[in-house]
Amino acid sequence: MPHASKAPAERTAVPRHVAIIMDGNGRWARQRGLPRIEGHRRGVETVRTVTFAARDLGVKMLTLYAFSAENWNRPKDEVGALMGLLELYLRKELRTFVRDRVRLMTIGRTEDLPAGVRRHLAATVEATKAFTDYTLVLALNYGSRTEAADAARGYAAAVCSGSQKLDDASWEAFARHLYTSGMPDPDLVIRTSGETRVSNFLLLQAAYAEFFFTPVLWPDFTKADLAAAIADYARRERRYGLTSEQVNPAAAAE
């Protein structure tokens, strides 16, 4: 059974779903002799800019790795400051998202976030759930391995209850239990700050994604940087395990 998650015919120059590992806030601050939290504060400004830049460039879904399951291990005051920034951001953005028709969704174990953050998240997700043109997904308390463990539990429960047959195991059946159920896979994954790791981010969903690494630190990342990443993506040939000739028969015949 062929297993390509997307037919080559669906290829477009603009990635439908862009996912970003926002990295470099701390280094941005250190370079300026500022506390790390200043880097995060500037990082939130970039989140605002990039959210609308992506839509302007034709992207339909943007996923931002805002807080990983491992980030709890940072110094307590930094975790507290990040949660404070997140709550402030959500409080400010609700009206903007409603006005500009941005749907907000989350992936991750959001139930472990502080009550204030959860309240604002729930209100924003609910208030924007009818919008269909553009979606911002915040990965919060997210990690691919915890996601896989949670999905395995959901899948096992479905088998136990009889709604899923053990012998019908398939990627599609399993993926219904991931946090990303119903979302398209990312086409392009960007990481800022010069690091070239995936850091437990969308490991299963990015199976066929293109990766783009840039040395730009997240607080300095601009619409032009995003456009450059998308232009680079447009030049690539996504083959999904096929040959170049299969994917692009017209060019092969020339």
Least distance to ligand FPP, CB of residue 88, Å: 8
Sheet of 17-21, strand order: 103-107, 135-142, 61-68, 17-21, 188-191, 210-213
- Has 25 been annotated as catalytic? no
Q: How far is the CB of 221 from ligand FPP (least distance, A)?
A: 10
Length of the chain: 254
- DSSP per-residue string spanning 75-117: -HHHHHHHHHHHHHHHHHHHHHHHHHT-EEEEES-GGGS-HHH
Closest to ligand FPP by CB, 82 vs 247, is 82
Q: Which two tokens stand for residue 172?
A: 């599609």
Among 19, 37, 40, 201, binds ligand FPP (CB under 6 A): 40
**Residue 138 bridge partners (DSSP):** 64, 106
Write the interaction track for ligand FPP spanning residues 112-141; mark x where CB under 6 A is met and - where it is not. --------------------------x---
Residues touching ligand FPP, count (CB under 6 A): 20
> Looking at beta carbons, which residue is closest to ligand FPP?
26
H-only helix segments in the chain: 25-31, 36-56, 76-100, 115-127, 144-161, 171-175, 223-234, 244-247, 249-253
- 63-102 residues in contact with ligand FPP (CB under 6 A) are 64, 66, 71, 82, 85-86, 89
Annotated catalytic residue, options 71, 150, 220, 232: 71
Using CB under 6 A as the binding rule, whether residue 143 contacts ligand FPP is answered as no
**Of residues 140 and 229, the one with the C-beta less far from ligand FPP:** 140
Applying the rule CB under 6 A, the residues between 10 and 29 that interact with ligand FPP are 22-27
Beta-carbon-side half-sphere exposure of residue 212 (alpha carbons within 13 Å): 24
Among 18, 19, 20, 44, binds ligand FPP (CB under 6 A): 44
Structure tokens at 62: 């943007």
**Residues annotated catalytic, as ranges:** 23, 71
Q: Kindly list the residues in this chain that would bind ligand FPP in the complex (CB under 6 A).
A: 22-27, 40, 43-44, 47, 64, 66, 71, 82, 85-86, 89, 138, 193, 218
